[in-house]
Amino acid sequence: MHNIVARGNNLFAFLSSCTMALLAAIALSSFLFTPIPTGVVDITSLKVYNVNARRYRNRKQEVALVNFNLTADLNSLFHWNTKQVFVYLEAKYENTQGANNTVVIWDRIVRRKEDAHINFTGKNKYMFRELSTSFKNVPPANFSLKYNVMPWVGLLTYGEAARTSEPIEFPPVS
């Protein structure tokens, strides 16, 4: 009638279907609640310096140094389907040619709920430079703290935890 291979195949097909249905239910259940993380981004200083460009030693390029205070409570993002949360501070501005630029200047990976309260004071982790080599006549930048929730099962979710209350002007080169 049915040999052992056919019975094993039916059993594994049934178990695979049950596992996929369970994973789909887990992924869909992550959208049932809406987390509301809170935070404050305070830019204490923004300075612009001239440095040598990496590729061209005889060419100057402007680099911005941002000092900031960051406070965020990301506990609401952690639940049973959260593997880790990627948190980053980004600067969004428009250059003189009219192109919108978004630059990540600081980031952190939060792997545990116990570490989800962030209180950081410091400067940008990554170089913040304008591709047109100068911040002169560039409109003010908006700074925002954003997050990316990486679940065990399901889709990545993005959001914003904090934003500066008003845009920050780029000062002249010091």
Question: Residues 6 or more apart from 58 whose CB is under 8 A from it?
Answer: none
Domain boundaries, the chain: 1-32, 35-163
Question: Do 147 and 157 touch, CB atoms closer than 8 A?
Answer: no
60-77 residue pLDDT tens: 788 899 999 999 999 999
Give the pLDDT confidence score for residue 53 in this predicted structure.
66
Question: Percentage of the chain surpassing pLDDT 90?
Answer: 47
Read off the pLDDT of residues 74-123 as tens digits, 9 standing for 90 and up. Answer: 999 998 889 999 999 999 998 888 889 999 999 999 999 999 999 999 99
Give me the mean pLDDT over the 143-165 stretch.
91
Over residues 151-164, mean pLDDT: 90
Residue 57, SS3?
Answer: coil
Q: Give me the pLDDT at residue 23, please.
A: 81
**What is the Rg, in whole angstroms, of the alpha carbon atoms belonging to the chain?**
23
Query: Which CATH number, 1.10.10, 2.60.40, 2.30.29, 3.90.550, labels domain 35-163?
Result: 2.60.40
β-strand 100-110 against 117-123: which pairing, if any?
A: unpaired
Residue 2 has pLDDT above 90, yes or no: no
Using pLDDT thresholds of 50, 70 and 90, give the confidence band for residue 54: low
